[in-house]
């Protein structure tokens, strides 16, 4: 059975619309390649009670939890305090991380605010940050990462090889211009029922007035089943009078 995962995006700036999240997409794709099934992604505010309750709920439900955001030096960076409380341990200075940050920033500039980034919940293991040194960390099955996409990506790339993997999730897409979901829905449902081990999705797209239609995506872990189901999707589009094109609409 494939391992399972969930993502928790933490930050008022995401919920307010000030910052557009791109971390979910990167994490989801990395997990899919590794055969780790993403079960859920949530965006939550910088609210201690919400963070603690969400972490406790989700870490009990999946194999791996990935959080982003809230581990910087400012007053609203409260993720580490909340993670520590969720695990019932103190959030304290991690000597190795403290030394790395002090050397990187310089002792004269390593003020109290910046020292907050060297606090980790007791028992946490640092996740290296190859861009700005300030670490993420893992405690239990929870991986706590930065919200800045480039930093998060470098952290995740170092984490993925350490996880238990499953068979990769295979995907095949056919799309057709001017196709209609309503027209293909009934036959598409029959194909889905014929191949229950696959997940067939229908996604309308609109590039411009002339380039719009539907993309039909077949996913699964059984390559033969995915190929067979995708072949029937192709034949369905042809039968409906459309010209199927492989890949994503562009």
Q: What CATH code would you report for 4-162?
A: 3.40.980.10
Q: What SS3 state is found at 43?
A: strand
Q: What are phi and psi of 46, to 5 degrees?
A: -80, 70
Same fold, 4-162 and 170-246: no
pLDDT band at 122 (very low <50, low <70, confident <90, very high): very high
DSSP label at residue 211: S
Q: What are phi and psi of 239, to 5 degrees?
A: -60, -35
Question: What topology is assigned to 170-246 in CATH?
Answer: Alpha-Beta Plaits (3.30.70)
| Domain ranges within the chain, ordered by starting residue | 4-162, 170-246
pLDDT in the model for residue 247 = 95
On the question of pLDDT at 55 being above 90, the answer is yes
Q: Give pLDDT tens digits for 64-121.
A: 999 999 999 999 999 999 999 999 999 999 999 999 999 999 999 999 999 999 999 9
Q: Are 132 and 152 in contact (CB under 8 A)?
A: no
C-alpha span between 83 and 53 (Å, rounded): 10
Tokens 């009990």 belong to which residue?
60
Mean pLDDT (the chain, rounded): 96
pLDDT band at 1 (very low <50, low <70, confident <90, very high): confident
Give the number of other Cβ atoms within 10 Å of residue 229's Cβ.
25
pLDDT band at 169 (very low <50, low <70, confident <90, very high): confident
Q: Give pLDDT tens digits for 205-223.
A: 999 988 999 999 999 989 9
Q: Work out the angle at residue 60's Cα, subtended by the Cα atoms of residues 116 and 77, and round it to the nearest 5 degrees.
A: 20
């Amino acid at each position: 059975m494939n391992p399972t995962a969930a993502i928790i995006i933490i930050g008022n700036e995401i919920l307010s619309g000030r910052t557009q999240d791109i971390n979910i997409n990167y994490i989801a794709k990395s997990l899919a390649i590794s055969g780790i099934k993403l079960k859920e992604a949530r965006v939550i505010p910088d609210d201690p009670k919400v963070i603690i309750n969400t972490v406790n709920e989700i870490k009990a439900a999946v194999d791996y939890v990935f959080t982003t955001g809230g581990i910087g030096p400012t007053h609203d960076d409260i993720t580490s305090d909340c993670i520590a409380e969720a695990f019932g341990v103190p959030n304290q200075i991690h000597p190795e991380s403290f030394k790395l940050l002090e050397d990187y920033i310089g002792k004269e500039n390593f003020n109290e605010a910046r020292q907050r980034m060297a606090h980790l919940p007791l028992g946490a293991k640092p996740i290296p940050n190859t861009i700005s040194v300030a670490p993420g960390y893992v405690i239990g099955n929870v991986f706590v990462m930065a919200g800045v996409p480039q930093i998060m990506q470098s952290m995740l790339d170092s984490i993925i090889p350490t996880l238990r993997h499953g068979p990769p999730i295979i995907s095949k897409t056919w799309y057709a211009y001017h196709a209609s979901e309503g027209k293909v829905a009934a036959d598409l449902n029959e194909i889905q029922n014929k191949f229950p081990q696959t997940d067939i999705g229908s996604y309308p797209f609109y590039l411009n007035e002339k380039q719009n239609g539907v993309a039909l995506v077949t996913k699964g872990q059984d390559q033969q089943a995915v190929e067979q189901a995708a072949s029937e999707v192709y034949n369905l589009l042809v039968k409906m009078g459309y010209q199927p094109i492989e890949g994503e609409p562009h």
